[in-house]
Amino acid sequence: MIIRNWMRPTPTTVTGEMLLAEANHIFSETRLHGLPVVEDGRLRGLITRAHCQRAAHHVARTQSSDEFAFFSSRLRVRDLMVRNPATVDADETMETCLQKGQELNVGQFPVMSGGSVVGLISASEIFALAAHFLGAFERRSGVTLAPMLLTPGAIGRVTDIVEGSGAEVIAIYPIGSGKPPAALKKLIVRFHGASVAAVTDALQQAGYTVVESVENAHAVAKAA
């Protein structure tokens, strides 16, 4: 869970000197969302797709050919880039990165190592992380249990019940909602084999409330 293993390595970088039109071109040719601005091996800023689009929108609104000319031939990346962007270190954990993103409300981080940019974390990387975590490609089945107090042994008991009904538990995620996370946590259980109905029955007999169920990664319509 070290950032180095999840980031997009050797990202495309630009210089502050580059015309904004060129950066815009990179954005339209690729699916990148941010370009770190590096000068003399040092991170100087970050320019994002949103900045470019907003600038283009502002210029278009003036309906002035001189503004269009200024935009395409004079405006440079350093006029628009964010200076001192928030960064993360390659040896930090993804948890730190996610927390920082939530706190600062930013969607991308240049990844630093020894003072230079070695990677980029953006929405695509976070998508990849979430997909791996939830096993999006494994077509898991699962259930979500209503919020409960997680005492020692609680997760073990749930595991026993689920595996007792013939399933193979792959993952259990306790999730608290709100900030700070509530004391009561939902329990999301993912498993292979057995039918979701059998697992649901077993859990309900043991006194748990099932709020959602998923069969082979597709939501199961709840019986009214």
Partner 1 sequence: MTSRSDLRSPPSQGGAASGPAEPVPRRPLGWAAPPAANEPTVCWFEDCSRDSIAEVGGKCASLGELIRMGARVPPGFAVTTHGCTRFLRDAGILPEIARLLDGLPADDILRLEQASAAIRSMIESRPMPVEMEDDIAEAYRRLALRCGLPAAPVAVRSSATAEDLPGASFAGQQDTYLWIRGADELLQHVRRCISSLYTARAIGYRLKMGFDHAQVAISVGVQKMANAFTAGVMFTLHPGNGDRSVIVIDSNFGFGESVVSGEVTPDHFVVSKVTLDITERTISRKEVCYTVDPRNQCSIAVDVPLERQTVQSLIDDEISELAWMGKQIEKHYGRPMDIEWAVDKDLPSGGNIFILQARPETVWSAKAAAASAPSASAMDYILSGLLAGRQVG
Nearer to partner 1, 100 or 186 (CB): 100
The total of other beta-carbon atoms located within 10 Å of residue 193's CB is 13
Task: Print the binding letters for residues 114-143 with partner 1: x by CB under 8 A, - otherwise.
Answer: xxx---------------------------
Our CA dihedral for 104, 93, 121, 50, rounded to 10 degrees, sits at -10
Nearest distance in Å: CB 9, partner 1: 19
Residue 212 makes contact with partner 1 by CB under 8 A: no
Residue 87 makes contact with partner 1 by CB under 8 A: yes
Options 21, 86, 118, 211; binder of partner 1; rule CB under 8 A: 86
Nearest distance in Å: CB 8, partner 1: 18
Nearest distance in Å: CB 134, partner 1: 28
CA pair distance 218, 215, nearest whole angstrom: 5
Residue numbers of the site for partner 1 (CB under 8 A)? Answer: 20, 41-44, 54-55, 58-59, 61-62, 64, 66-67, 69-71, 74-76, 78-87, 100, 103-104, 110, 112, 114-116
